[in-house]
Amino acid sequence: QQQVKQSPQSLIVQKGGISIINCAYENTAFDYFPWYQQFPGKGPALLIAIRPDVSEKKEGRFTISFNKSAKQFSLHIMDSQPGDSATYFCAATRGANNFNKFYFGSGTKLNVKP
């Protein structure tokens, strides 16, 4: 059973547009929800993360929206740029209670067209 479900599988956005990627989870014990960004041929790198005690976290053009009651969280990329073209993974973990083991979504390949 997939612990974290991610959609869409791929996304095409025009430069300057808003990119939105959604994730849903089942386990209410999860207490840390990161988003990772991966460029071709590279390893994933942490982009932004949120804990369930807040509903939104913003870092520059990247925002996580978190809905605890719906067990959903999403990544919004404002003013999307061609340099944002990458694969994005959401994840969830029970953190220190489970040795920081992550459950990853299946990934979203974002293509920002100039």
Which positions from 74 to 93 touch other proteins by CB under 8 A, shown as an x/- string?
---------------x---x
Q: Where are the alpha helices (DSSP H) in the chain?
A: none
Sole window of 13-21, 31-39, 61-69, 71-79 interacting with other proteins (rule: CB under 8 A): 31-39
Distance in Å, CB of 102 to other proteins, minimum: 6
Rounded to whole angstroms, what are the CA distances from 45 to 40, 53, 61, 66, 68?
Answer: 12, 23, 17, 20, 25
CA-wise closest residue to 73 among 65, 62, 84, 81: 65
Which positions touch other proteins (CB under 8 A)?
Answer: 6, 9, 32, 34, 36, 41-46, 49, 89, 93, 95-96, 99-102, 104-107
